[in-house]
Amino acid sequence: MDYETLSNCFVGVFQHYKTKEQKVFVIHDLRDDFDKLLLFLRKNRDDKEWHISFNGLGFDAQITHYILDNQHNWMIYSACDIARDIYKFAQDCINKSRSNNFLPYAEWHMKIQQIDLYKLNHWDNVQKKSSLKWIQFSMDWDNLLDMPIHHTTEIKTQDELDLIIEYCINDVESTKEIYKRSQSQIKLRKSLSKQYGINLFSASEPRISKEIFMYYMAKRMNISNNDFKKLRTERNHIVCKDIILPYIKFNTPDLNNLLDLLKHSKFDAGNLKGQFNYNIKYKNVKTHFGLGGVHGANKSDIYESDDEYVIMSSDVVSFYPNLVIKNKWSAAHFPKEIFCPQYEWFFKERQKIPKSNPMNYVLKIILNSTFGLSNDYTSFFYDPELFMKITINGQLTLMMLYESIMERIPNATSIMQNTDGIEIKIPRSEQEKYLEICKEWEDLTKLKLEHTTYSKMIVGDVNNYIAISDYQEVDINKWRQIKESNPHYLFKVSGAKFMYAPIKLNGRFNFHDLALHKNKSKLVVAKGVYEYFINNILPEDYLDMNTNILDYCIAQKSRGDWVQTKRKVVDGKIIDIELQKTNRYYISEKGNKIVKINKFDGREIQLESGRWKQILFNKIKINKWNEYYIDKNYYLQCIESEINNIIISKNQMTLF
pLDDT of 70 = 95
The angle, 0 to 180 degrees and rounded to 10, between the axes of the packed helices 358-373 and 384-408 is 100
Q: What's the rounded Cα separation, in Å, for the pair 174 and 213?
A: 34
pLDDT of 292 = 80
Instruction: With a cut of 80, say whether residue 419 has pLDDT above it.
Output: yes
For the stretch 17-52, what's the b/e string if a residue is b when 16 or more beta carbons lie within 10 angstroms of its beta carbon? eeeeeeebbbbbeeebbbeebeebbeebbeeeeebb
| pLDDT, averaged across the chain | 94
How many Cβ atoms from other residues are within 10 Å of residue 570's Cβ?
A: 7
Tell me the torsion sign for CA atoms 223, 224, 227, 233: positive
Instruction: Report the pLDDT averaged over residues 119-138.
Output: 95
Among candidates 13, 57, 21, 4, which has minimal Cα distance to 37? 13
Q: Answer for the pair 414, 406: CB distance below 8 angstroms, yes or no.
A: yes
The HSE-up count of residue 420 (CA atoms within 13 Å, CB side) is 16
DSSP string, 4-69: EEETTEEEEEEE-SSS--EEEEEEETTEE-HHHHHHHHHHHHHTT-EEEESSIIIIIHHHHHHHHH
> 200-246: per-residue pLDDT in tens?
999 999 999 999 999 999 999 999 999 999 999 999 999 999 999 99
- Residue scoring higher pLDDT (3 or 370): 3
> 42-71: per-residue pLDDT in tens?
999 999 999 999 999 999 999 999 999 999
Confidence of residue 487 (pLDDT cuts 50, 70, 90): confident
> 290-308: per-residue pLDDT in tens?
888 899 999 999 999 999 9
pLDDT of 245 = 97
pLDDT of 539 = 97
Confidence of residue 656 (pLDDT cuts 50, 70, 90): low
Q: What's the rounded Cα separation, in Å, for the pair 40 and 75?
A: 17
Going by the DSSP 8-state scheme, the letter that residue 232 receives in this structure is -
Q: Answer for the pair 499, 471: CB distance below 8 angstroms, yes or no.
A: yes
Q: Give me the long-range contacts of 373-376 (CB less than 8 A, separation at least 24).
A: 373/206, 373/209, 373/210, 374/331, 375/272, 375/291
> 578-623: per-residue pLDDT in tens?
999 999 999 999 999 999 999 999 999 999 999 999 999 999 999 9
Distance of CA 147 to the CA centre of its chain: 26
Residue 191's Cβ-count burial label (10 Å; 0-12, 13-18, 19+) is middle
Q: What's the rounded Cα separation, in Å, for the pair 202 and 246?
A: 43
Extended beta strands in 378-448, E state: 413-418, 421-427
End-to-end CA distance of the chain: 51
How many Cβ atoms from other residues are within 10 Å of residue 156's Cβ?
A: 13
Residue 427's Cβ-count burial label (10 Å; 0-12, 13-18, 19+) is middle
Q: What's the rounded Cα separation, in Å, for the pair 80 and 68?
A: 18
pLDDT of 654 = 59
At position 401, the amino acid (one-letter code) is L
Q: Answer for the pair 508, 641: CB distance below 8 angstroms, yes or no.
A: no
Instruction: With a cut of 90, say whether residue 196 has pLDDT above it.
Output: yes
Share of the chain above pLDDT 70, in %: 99
pLDDT of 653 = 54
Give the CA distances from residue 631 to residues 13, 433, 528, 606, 634, in Å, rounded to whole numbers and listed in that order: 40, 53, 15, 17, 6
Among candidates 339, 345, 324, 278, which has minimal Cα distance to 445? 324
How many Cβ atoms from other residues are within 10 Å of residue 344's Cβ?
A: 17
Confidence of residue 648 (pLDDT cuts 50, 70, 90): confident
Instruction: Report the pLDDT averaged over residues 368-384.
Output: 92
pLDDT of 650 = 52
Query: Which residues lie closer than 8 Å to 516 by C-beta, 6 or more apart?
Result: 121, 130, 135, 138, 139, 178, 181
Alpha helices in 245-357 (DSSP H): 253-263, 319-326, 336-352
294 forms beta bridges with: 289
Instruction: With a cut of 80, say whether residue 272 has pLDDT above it.
Output: yes
pLDDT of 619 = 96
Query: Which residues lie closer than 8 Å to 127 by C-beta, 6 or more apart?
Result: none
Q: What's the rounded Cα separation, in Å, for the pair 437 and 416?
A: 18
> 522-554: per-residue pLDDT in tens?
999 999 999 999 999 999 999 999 999 999 999
31 forms beta bridges with: 28
Among candidates 550, 560, 551, which has minimal Cα distance to 605? 560
Distance of CA 173 to the CA centre of its chain: 23
Q: Answer for the pair 351, 497: CB distance below 8 angstroms, yes or no.
A: no
SS3 128: coil
Instruction: Report the pLDDT averaged over residues 381-401.
Output: 95
Among candidates 205, 492, 490, which has minimal Cα distance to 363? 205
> 548-573: per-residue pLDDT in tens?
999 999 999 998 899 999 998 888 89
